[in-house]
Amino acid sequence: MATIGRQRKAYALYAGLVATAAVLLALTAWILLFENQFRKVVDWLLDRPIPVAAPEQERTSAWKTGQQAFHAMETALYGAFINLQVTPDRIRDATARAASDTGRWTIVERRIIVSHSYSLTECNLEIARAVARAGGKVSRAEEGTRTRELLLEITFDGDVTHRLTITRDPAVKRRTGRLAVVIAYTDGDQRSVVDELSESTRPLTFALFPWADGVNDIAAGLTRGDHEIMALLPVQPASDSAGLPRRRSLSPAHSELTNRRVVEDALSRLPDARGVLRYPAGRMENEAEVLAPVLDELDKRNVYYLDNPGGSGGPGGLDETGGSGGPGGLDNPGGSGGPGGLKVRGGGSGRLRAWGVLDPLYNPVTISMNLDLASLSALDDTRAVVIADARPHTLQVLMNRIRYLEIRGIEFVRVSDLVDN
């Protein structure tokens, strides 16, 4: 019996040792295979604080920097693509943008198809200008010897964000549109702006208030160049908010003869005026009845009438006279007037409706945005007319944007060019 007891104790001891060894072996394997989980268990048991890993902070910083660089360059590039008339269907990504495990972003490789009307030099300059304005640069520009493709590498803060391949396609047609810019001059405080704009090599149309001091000297200087003048004709809104003298305004309170004499007086002071601009914006009672004899008088004198819709326009613009304007916001009273909705009556006279006002809010960003929208409308409808006051911000935006809009396909013309053609 004693021998059996000792054997049982030995078996129990061996079994305990084997079980302990097995547990230790399993624990060792678990530690080796799942070290992080074991550490978490130990940290939890000892209630240890977990430090924030510095590498995660660096990754987050790199990720944000890459995002900002990419969006800055994307915005700049799409501005250049608009000017080069690149539509979304002609932008093809060969390598999409993605984030790596280290937090860095991969380089976007993109193929751009442009009209054969644009040279590779024009494409290079336009993209380089847009990228430079956003703080980046074209770090490499090469032309393929055989393919005649332009290869561009775009960098921002030392990091490459884009690799572009520009291909010219003879099948892609370049659109063109004509845009007439009307500058309204009402008083002597705007004289310096008019003088600077008169130096522009692109034709502009100046709407001059016929009764302003020194207006004849201004008109003489403008007509010696490639510019055009028109008479700024006050049309009295019901609110009388403009503060213009009623005796020199068209008004429903006047007789038909008085309104005709306002027109006669305005044109007699500006004999070289090719047209008249309704100013300021706003509607009055019995408008059609008041304007009928005025338009008849202008038609006899072979002078066009430009309606001022007020506010910023839009594609096709809403005709506030109660009808719908034609494409491009050129009013078409009484019938179909051909491209752009322009109705031309004998001898080159006609009635037009402007796309809108560039500076309803006197802000450079608003002016630039409206100029962009008007140019796109001109490309869609072949023509458009915009109105702006002779103020410094307007001068600044026009001088900065004209050359870029010409690359886009815009031709700057006088209002009479739209009437005559």
CATH of the domain at 275: 3.20.20.370
Task: Answer yes or no: is 14 within a domain.
Answer: no
Both 360 and 282 in one domain: the answer is: yes
Both 156 and 187 in one domain: the answer is: no
Cβ–Cβ < 8 Å for 307, 278: yes
Last residue of a domain, one of 110, 135, 169: 169
Last residue of a domain, one of 169, 193, 213: 169
Taken in order 283, 284, 289, 295, the sign of the CA dihedral is negative
Both 75 and 164 in one domain: the answer is: yes
Both 239 and 361 in one domain: the answer is: yes
Task: Answer yes or no: is 57 within a domain.
Answer: no
**Overall number of domains in the chain:** 2
Whats the size of the chain, residue-wise? Answer: 421
Tens of pLDDT along the chain (421 residues) come to: 567 767 777 777 777 787 888 888 877 766 665 566 667 767 777 777 766 554 444 556 666 776 777 888 899 999 899 999 999 999 998 887 776 666 667 889 999 999 999 999 999 999 999 999 989 999 999 998 888 999 999 998 888 889 999 999 999 999 999 999 999 998 888 999 999 999 999 999 999 999 988 898 999 888 887 899 999 988 875 444 455 556 678 888 888 888 888 899 999 999 999 999 988 766 667 777 888 888 888 888 899 999 887 655 543 332 333 333 333 333 333 333 333 334 434 334 578 889 989 988 889 999 999 999 999 999 999 999 999 999 999 999 999 999 889 999 999 999 999 986 6
DSSP string, 107-161: PEEEEEEEETTS-HHHHHHHHHHHHHHTT-EEEEEEE-TTT--EEEEEEETTEEE
Compute the distance between CA of residue 351 and CA of residue 249 in angstroms, rounded to an integer. 19
Phi, psi angle pair for 3, to nearest 5°: -65, -40
Both 129 and 215 in one domain: the answer is: no
Helix, strand or coil, per DSSP, at residue 163:
strand
Both 246 and 148 in one domain: the answer is: no
Token readout for 219 is 């008109």
Tell me, what CATH number does 93's domain have? 3.30.460.10
- Report angle CA 268, 351, 197 to the nearest 5 degrees: 65
DSSP H or E stretch at residue 231 = strand 228-234
Both 203 and 352 in one domain: the answer is: yes
Cβ–Cβ < 8 Å for 280, 308: yes
**Residue 2 pLDDT:** 64
Find all residues with CB under 8 Å of 369, minimum gap 6, and list them.
none
Task: Answer yes or no: is 370 within a domain.
Answer: yes
Intra-chain end-to-end CA distance of the chain, in Å = 128
Task: Answer yes or no: is 42 within a domain.
Answer: no
Cβ–Cβ < 8 Å for 388, 419: no
Cβ–Cβ < 8 Å for 107, 163: yes
Phi, psi angle pair for 144, to nearest 5°: -65, 130
Both 261 and 163 in one domain: the answer is: no
Both 203 and 134 in one domain: the answer is: no
Which of 177, 191, 156 has the alpha carbon at shortest distance from 74? 156
Token readout for 317 is 């613009």
State the residue range of the domain holding 402.
Answer: 177-420
Which of 332, 388, 378 has the alpha carbon at shortest distance from 356? 388
**Residue 51 pLDDT:** 64
Cβ–Cβ < 8 Å for 126, 114: no
**Residue 57 pLDDT:** 46
Both 271 and 352 in one domain: the answer is: yes
